[in-house]
Amino acid sequence: AQSVTQLGSHVSVSEGALVLLRCNYSSSVPPYLFWYVQYPNQGLQLLLKYTSAATLVKGINGFEAEFKKSETSFHLTKPSAHMSDAAEYFCAVSPRRSGNTGKLIFGQGTTLQVKP
Amino acid sequence: EAQVTQNPRYLITVTGKKLTVTCSQNMNHEYMSWYRQDPGLGLRQIYYSMNVEVTDKGDVPEGYKVSRKEKRNFPLILESPSPNQTSLYFCASSPLAGVGNEQFFGPGTRLTVL
């Protein structure tokens, strides 16, 4: 069965520092890949997604992620953290196969803390 | 405004008292789904619906029911809630399933079962 692993349930960075949130998936066929952000008391909002085009995907709010097939990874980065980036981030996959039920398989989530 | 709405946003109830959480989307999406979010587990799918009158179980369907009589609505029913169903619930919708489409999420319903 497919699974998603997010390394680190909590990540703390200083304002202006690089943000790196890690995501690895397990699948023999590269799935569709997503990063969602959840601000306190809100639903999930899509940051970016990888379908099959460029391996470096740019999203909203200055975030980007790089798909690396050899490493089965889809890490999320942002060059300079802002206080407003503090939130919980979820990596998710959707299998790329016939009969796909549309289910998103989520990682455990990573809480990003940004210190002034 | 294109959105997924859920009601209620917060609910405290007692074991065994039937409840319904409503979900509605105004984007004419074919696909709708319910997830529950628990600390350390991420989100897990409860039920999904590919289209009107077509529903199926997700990964954690026990204790839940759904119906899809109209395209826009997808209520989640707990006929006899138990404390282990205390969780944060999200409804989501998507134009179609299985082709890498984004899923749009509602604001969530925080349920506590005493």
Q: pLDDT tens digits for A31-83?
A: 899 999 999 888 899 999 998 778 899 999 999 999 999 999 999 999 999 99
The answer to whether residues A4 and A91 touch, using CB atoms and an 8 Å cutoff, is yes
Of all residues in chain A, the one with the smallest CA distance to B97 is: A102
Q: Contacts of residue B105 in chain A, CB cutoff 8 Å?
A: 36, 43-45
Q: What is the pLDDT of residue A56?
A: 94
Within 10 angstroms of residue A87's Cβ, the number of other Cβ atoms is 19
Average pLDDT of chain A to the nearest whole number: 91
- Give bridge partners of residue B18 from the DSSP assignment: none
pLDDT (average), residues B69-88: 97
Helix (H, G, I), strand (E, B) or coil at B107: coil
The string over A57-81, giving b where at least 16 C-beta atoms fall within 10 Å of a residue's C-beta and e elsewhere, is: bebeeebbbebeeeebbbbbebeeb
Residue B21 backbone dihedrals phi, psi, to 5 degrees:
-110, 125
Task: Say yes or no to pLDDT of A98 above 70.
Answer: no
Distance between CA atoms of residues B75 and B47, nearest Å? 10
Which tokens sit at B44?
A: 């897990």
Distance between CA atoms of residues B34 and B57, nearest Å? 10
The answer to whether residues B113 and B85 touch, using CB atoms and an 8 Å cutoff, is yes
Within 10 angstroms of residue A51's Cβ, the number of other Cβ atoms is 16
Bridge-based pairing state of the strands A56-58 and A64-68: antiparallel
The H-or-E segment that residue A13 falls in is strand A10-14
Q: Contacts of residue B41 in chain A, CB cutoff 8 Å?
A: 108
Of all residues in chain B, the one with the smallest CA distance to A107 is: B42
Q: Which among A6, A25, A39, A44 is the top mutation candidate for probing chain B, defined by the most B β-carbons within 10 Å of its own β-carbon?
A: A44
B42, B99, B108 member nearest A106 (Cβ): B42
pLDDT (average), residues B10-17: 97
Nearest-CA distance B105 → chain A (Å): 6
Q: Which among B43, B46, B99 is the top mutation candidate for probing chain A, defined by the most A β-carbons within 10 Å of its own β-carbon?
A: B43
Task: Say yes or no to pLDDT of B53 above 70.
Answer: yes
Residue B57 backbone dihedrals phi, psi, to 5 degrees:
-75, 145
B96, B99, B103 member nearest A104 (Cβ): B103
pLDDT (average), residues A6-19: 96
% of chain B beyond a pLDDT of 90: 85
Distance between CA atoms of residues A36 and A88, nearest Å? 9
- Residue A74's nearest CA partner among A56, A98, A87 is A56
Of all residues in chain B, the one with the smallest CA distance to A30 is: B100
Distance between CA atoms of residues B70 and A15, nearest Å? 47
- Give a three-class secondary structure readout of A50-98: ECCCCCEEECHHHCEEEEEHHHCEEEEEECCCCHHHCEEEEEEEECCCC
User: What distance lies between CA B31 and its chain's CA centroid?
Assistant: 12
